[in-house]
Amino acid sequence: MTGRIVVAGASMGGLRAAEQLRAAGWTGAVTVVGDEPHMPYNRPPLSKEVLAGKAPFESLAFTPKAAAADVEWRLGTKVVSARLRERAVVLEDGTSLSYDGLVVATGMRPRRLRCPGPVTGRHTVRTLADAQGLRDELTRPGVRVVVVGAGFIGCEVAATAVGLGAAEVTVVDPLALPMVGPLGELLARALLKRHEERGVRFRLGVGVAGFEGLSRVTGVVLSDGTVLPADVVVESVGSVANVEWLDGNGLDLSDGVLTDVWLRAGGRPDVVAVGDVARFPNARYDGVPRRVEHWSIPTDTARHAAKTLVAHLGGGDVELAPFAPLPTFWSDQHDFRLQSFGAPGLGLDDVRVLDGGPDGDVLVGYHVDGRLVGVVALGGQAAAMGAAKYRAQLLKQPALTV
Amino acid sequence: MKVVVDMNKCQDHGQCVFASPDVFSMDDDGHLAYVPDPDDALRDEVEEAADVCPLQAIRIEG
């Protein structure tokens, strides 16, 4: 097979796509384009081990597979536009790259708060540079930290900041409980208690109205008028898909890139999307397209999308199975772990304790029409292993009807 | 094929066990155990195990 596949995005999804293109038999050129200056690296430790100083930044680099050794890496630049009908993308410096196949792997960027106030002292955690900058600030003696957003990143950063000895760590969220969206009320309540017992404060059910300070932030103004003094603010309020470069091609870009069950975008056999930018229907569940920001998704999507793309470029009439991954996520906070298999978010109306209790190690099941669709464990490593025992059962479940 | 797991990095997530149960397992204490010199026929599943390790602690040599 000759020609070129361009992979837009050089994070985990881009790397896995390049590797899986080779694994799927693509022998033509592969060019990966990414805006960060670094080779692809592993992001989860940025809010945990690396932020805590327990692992060096250098330890994050992925080791690309030998089969991908001849991949061309164009780093420190990005794709700024695409003409899919002409099969060409344009880079920041104006260079045009033609392609036979295109992999969309441009991922997400942190959403920022738009309320008034100074910018200096406000951080996000997505990139190596972000984590380096935040670590420098969190390690100053007596530092007061306000984390805006009680999701995965917010809860992890709050736990890390307490572990680093920050004088005050307060998490603010308009919802009533931390991580209540993905976990539901029962586990979110247990999570809140554990954080509070370990020194994290919470201001829940209240939003952020603005930031105080002249040249740098000194406080966070809440929507009820109270002000939280702050030396450092971490904004962990969700993310925005990097899809602007695909504008003007008739794609559905309303929340990431909409794909079909084979991860093709816009019905084009030569364009696939991978990673958290892909909004795909999971044939295992209800067929509703969703973006999934779990760490396992870049690898899962790359494996499938590479087969889709190489099958098309190879000209063969290959019958491909629809994409149907079993989602999984974990989160390490303080001395405990959350471990999930399946889709707990679909079963939030029927949550049952399967093992243990909210005050200790606990395993929770999420159900739709009485059927288990996801499990989440909260506690020590034994609890996480307890969740894994349900993985086989979740894999065997027939698809949820639409 | 030689498999090396950096046990300083490993946090016993067990994802490798799902990907390659012939090579990786959890012992009774919930800690990782593995076959350091698996048969080459298992390469695909060992590569998958290396891919899905959250700590990227698994290295395949040769």
CA-based torsion, A390, A364, A154, A301: positive or negative: positive
* pLDDT over 90 at A317, yes or no: no
Q: Which residue has the higher pLDDT, A316 or A51?
A: A51
Written as one string, the DSSP assignment of A342-381 is E-GGGGTTSEEEEEE-TTSSEEEEEEETTEEEEEEEEESH
How close is the nearest chain B Cα to the Cα of A350, in Å? 27
pLDDT recorded at residue A402: 46
pLDDT recorded at residue A18: 98
Predicted TM-score of the model (pTM): 0.96
Distance CA A277, CA A106 (A): 7
* pLDDT tens, N- to C-terminus, chain B (62 residues): 999 999 999 999 999 999 999 999 999 888 999 999 999 999 999 999 999 999 999 999 97
What letter does residue A321 receive in the DSSP assignment? P
Closest residue to A381, CB basis, from B12, B51, B54: B12
Answer yes or no: are the C-beta atoms of A326 and A282 closer than 8 Å: no
Across A138-156, average pLDDT:
97
Architecture of the domain spanning B2-61: 2-Layer Sandwich (3.30)
Distance CA B1, CA B36 (A): 8
CB contact under 8 A, B14 and A385: yes
* pLDDT over 60 at A280, yes or no: yes
CB contact under 8 A, A388 and B14: yes
Q: Which residues contact A249 (CB under 8 A, 6 or more apart)?
A: A82, A83, A84, A85, A266
For each of the domains in chain A, give its residue range(s) and CATH number, in order of start: 4-43+62-109+239-313 (3.50.50.60), 112-235 (3.50.50.60), 335-396 (no CATH)
CB contact under 8 A, A330 and B54: yes
- Over residues A160-208, the pLDDT tens digits come to 999 999 999 999 999 999 999 999 999 999 999 999 999 999 999 999 9
Residue A120 to residues A112, A148, A209, A215, Cα–Cα distance (Å): 13, 15, 17, 7
What letter does residue A88 receive in the DSSP assignment? E
CA-based torsion, A289, A265, A396, A392: positive or negative: negative
